[in-house]
């Protein structure tokens, strides 16, 4: 692998971590194809990580310059003699940044997972203790449903192995039966699709890249798409009007960190989307195609050269 390859992968990683998410977060078409847009977001995040690692691996192959016997050597003096001091310093610096990103990715993945599950476990214990059975829920499946004595309408879910859907007494007071069905369908769609795992993965990738590289709006866009997917699931059960009215009622509700709420700052955008009722199959197909190209390109570019490099190294070993 050459310095050009390392530079190309590095530039691609920076683009996919910052400018590309910034542009995508301002686009309006994801509202017409949220599932395809979420797949595209996932492809961009994974390709950014692959490109960053590929840049580091390409630099590592440059530093392993052949010694007098033709075998790769890790002697800094030989590397400096072959590359020149400025290029060697630059290569080592970029390689160190790549290693740091990899370490931060592993650390942030573990930290986000442990922190989120600890908070959910504590809150799950509280809602189980504070649950107030309500006869108005007799016609619903209540195995995972908990009711809190709170006047303000709110509805949220706690994902995990022991899933919970939490509503307040105010929610039951202010929502009609069809609206309550819509809000429960919305929350259970989150649990069924494990949208929490998608958010955790994006949060880990977001925290792994340096602040001057990553996009600030990526997480917000992914959260909105996940809410749109849950809205679509509820829409198929109850129709747009009950869901829209339920979202308006629960728009100002506050929820604990780690939970996934029906309301929130994106409520107005979601209600407008329900009124429009637009879905564009052509936009969806284009997004899926773009996601495949973005993901497959870096993967092939990584796999093929490194299979050649490994073959060459094993060839030296067996001589």
Domain spans of the chain? 3-317
Of the candidates 80, 59, 135, the residue with the CA atom closest to the CA atom of residue 305: 59
Extract the runs of DSSP E, i.e. beta strands, from 196-251: none
Of the candidates 250, 162, 124, 257, the residue with the CA atom closest to the CA atom of residue 203: 257
Of the candidates 100, 14, 102, 99, the residue with the CA atom closest to the CA atom of residue 60: 99
Strand-pair category, 164-168 with 145-148: parallel
Task: Say what the pLDDT of residue 246 is.
Answer: 93
pLDDT in tens, the chain (319 residues): 556 777 788 888 888 888 898 899 999 999 999 999 999 999 998 888 888 888 877 777 777 665 555 555 666 666 666 667 777 677 777 778 778 888 888 888 899 889 988 999 999 999 999 998 888 887 887 788 999 998 899 999 999 888 999 999 999 999 999 999 999 999 999 999 999 999 998 888 888 877 767 777 888 899 999 999 999 999 988 889 999 999 999 988 877 888 888 888 888 899 988 888 777 889 999 999 999 988 887 777 666 666 665 666 565 545 5
The two three-digit tokens of residue 58, written as one number: 């390409």
Is the dihedral angle over the CA atoms 69, 72, 76, 79 positive or is it negative? Answer: positive
DSSP state of 265: T
CB atoms within 10 A of CB 74: 11
Task: Say what the pLDDT of residue 4 is.
Answer: 74
DSSP per position, 124-183: HHHHHHH----GGGTTS--TTEEEE--SS--EEEE-SSS-EEEEEHHHHHHS-HHHHHHH
> 177 phi and psi, to 5 degrees?
-55, -45
* pTM value > 0.85: no
């Amino acid at each position: 692998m050459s310095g050009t390859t390392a530079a190309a992968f590095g530039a691609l990683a920076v683009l996919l971590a910052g400018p590309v998410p910034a542009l995508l977060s301002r686009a309006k078409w994801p509202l017409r194809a949220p599932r395809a847009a979420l797949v595209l977001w996932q492809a961009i995040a994974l390709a950014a990580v692959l490109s960053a690692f590929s840049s580091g691996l390409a630099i590592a192959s440059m530093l392993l310059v052949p010694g007098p016997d033709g075998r790769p050597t890790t002697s800094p003096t030989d590397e400096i003699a072959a590359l020149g001091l400025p290029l060697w310093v630059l290569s080592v610096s970029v390689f160190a940044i790549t290693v740091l990103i990899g370490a931060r990715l592993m650390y942030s993945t573990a930290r986000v997972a442990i922190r989120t599950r600890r908070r959910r476990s504590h809150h799950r214990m509280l809602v189980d203790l504070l649950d107030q059975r309500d006869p108005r829920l007799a016609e619903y499946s209540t195995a995972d449903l908990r009711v809190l004595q709170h006047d303000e309408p709110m509805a949220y879910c706690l994902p995990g192995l022991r899933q919970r859907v939490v509503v307040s007494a105010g929610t039951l007071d202010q929502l009609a039966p069809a609206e309550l069905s819509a809000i429960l369908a919305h929350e259970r769609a989150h649990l069924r699709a494990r949208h929490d795992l998608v958010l955790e993965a994006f949060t880990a990738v977001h925290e792994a890249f340096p602040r001057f590289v990553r996009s600030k709006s990526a997480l917000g866009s992914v959260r909105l798409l996940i809410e749109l997917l849950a809205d679509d699931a509820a829409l198929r059960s109850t129709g747009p009007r009950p869901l829209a009215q339920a979202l308006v009622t629960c728009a100002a509700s506050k929820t604990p960190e780690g939970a996934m709420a029906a309301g929130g700052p994106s409520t107005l955008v979601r209600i407008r989307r329900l009124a429009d009722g637009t879905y564009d199959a052509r936009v969806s197909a284009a997004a899926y195609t773009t996601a495949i190209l973005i993901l497959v390109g870096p993967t092939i570019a990584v796999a093929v050269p490194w299979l050649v490099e490994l073959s060459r190294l094993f060839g030296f070993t067996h001589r």
